[in-house]
Amino acid sequence: MKSIERVLNKKVDHKALKESFMDACSNKDFKDFIKTIPAKEDVLINYTSSLEDASCEYKNCKDCKGLTNCKNSVKGYLLTPEVKGDSISFSYNACKYLNDKLEKDAYKKNIELFEMSKEMMDASLKDIYKDAKRIPILKYFQEFTKKYGREDVKGLYLHGSFGSGKTYLVAALFNEMAKKGIKSVICYYPEFLRSLKASFNEDFEERFNTLKKVDLLLLDDIGAENCSNWNRDEILGPILQYRMEEHLPTFFTSNLNLSELEKNLAITTSGVDKVKARRIIERIKQLTDVLELVSKNRRD
Ligand code: ADP
Ligand code: MG
């Protein structure tokens, strides 16, 4: 008796399903949409409501001009049916605009920022002002890109006035290299030291090792930190030593030239030590070519 009831119910359900499917088909967009799905009507009628949602999202996408105008329920995604035998499953797939964006931004996974603003990940060599002051730097970048991976290449000690675009330039180079799969860290050095001290018992070792070993490193704004024996002799010294031995290109930006930086490094909270400061400067000189960028302050 029970099984007869079931069969009857199923028949009724089937009729109701078919009716609501036919109802939905009175909408031309829906009708056109289901023509693209390789399934028989008997299968489709079980999914009318989801297919209506998917059809609606499909239409939104067809008329869409870009991600900011997305009308779908999950921004950048569209509900998509997939036929599997006698059933249909639905999943949210990235739309073409989101896919383009994901592809365009894929290089960003190769760059790690330590205490830096994210805007530097969008710095691009294409957009760099190509004025006379930047020509030697851009030439250096060209050489660097050509030689990297083929022979030893030095990093850059780029010093000059505040806001002239030093960090932006090196970030643009790193972004270019990231597109080729080269990993880098852009580290705002003064703040990094503060946070490194604070994280002493947590991820200190990991952060310290990342700076030592990453393919390309920028120590940004060196000389602006409060110099202590600890950060000069236990942090900076070993990082530079390791990178020198392993031939890992290392970049610096600073408001100070090398002799000003040397004076800065000599005076710590514990006294004056010219020899240790000299040793750091020697390492920087071995690791880098030195260029200057004095230009108007771009932050105004
Ligand atoms: P610095 O490191 O020399 O103090 P930044 O690299 O931080 O200067 O640049 C200062 C500001 O100018 C930043 O907001 C940066 O995004 C912008 N900027 C610098 N150079 C360029 C450039 N070539 N194109 C676009 N914006 C730039
Ligand atoms: Mg800077």
What is the structure's pLDDT at 54? 96
Across the range 243-272, mean pLDDT stands at 93
Starting at the earlier edge strand, list the strands of the sheet with 250-254: 111-114, 184-188, 216-220, 250-254, 155-160, 288-293
| High-pLDDT (> 70) share of the chain, % | 95
CA dihedral 250, 254, 257, 261 (to 10 degrees): -90
Query: How would residue 5 be classed by pLDDT, with cut points 50, 70 and 90?
Result: very low
Q: Give the rounded percent of residues in the chain with a pLDDT score beyond 90.
A: 74
Q: Is the pLDDT of residue 8 over 50?
A: no
Report pLDDT for 4: 43
pLDDT score recorded for residue 270: 78
Residues in the chain: 300
| pLDDT number for residue 295 | 78
**pLDDT reported for residue 3:** 44
Report the sign of the C-alpha dihedral through residues 172, 177, 179, 184, in that order. Answer: negative
Higher-confidence residue of 8 and 158: namely 158
Asked if the model's pLDDT at residue 11 lies above 80, the reply is no
**For the segment 105-151, what is each residue's pLDDT rounded down to a tens digit?**
899 999 999 998 899 999 998 888 888 889 999 999 999 999 999 99
End-to-end CA, the chain = 85
Which ligand 1 atom lies nearest to the CA of residue 120? 16
Q: In terms of DSSP bridges, do strands 267-268 and 271-272 run parallel, antiparallel, or are they unpaired?
A: antiparallel
Supply the residue whose CA is at minimum distance from atom 19 of ligand 1: 165
Which ligand is the nearest neighbour of the Cα of 125? 1
- Tens of pLDDT, residues 20-45: 999 999 999 999 999 999 999 999 99
Lowest-confidence pick of 61-65, 204-208, 243-247:
204-208
Task: For residues 61-69, give the mean pLDDT.
Answer: 93
pLDDT computed for residue 7 by the predictor: 44
* Average pLDDT taken over every residue of the chain: 91
Per-residue pLDDT, 139: 95
CATH of domain 104-293: 3.40.50.300
Residue pLDDT, tens place only, 183-217: 999 999 999 988 887 776 678 888 899 999 999 99
Residue 269, pLDDT score? 78
Domain ranges of the chain: 12-94, 104-293
Among 298, 299, 300, name the best residue to mutate to test ligand 1's pocket (greatest count of ligand atoms within 8 A of Cβ): 298
d(CA 163, CA 217): 20
Residue 35 confidence (pLDDT):
95
Answer yes or no: is pLDDT of 2 > 60. no
Unique residue bearing structure tokens 């990940």: 121
Pocket of ligand 1 (CB under 6 A): 119, 127-129, 162-168, 253, 298-299
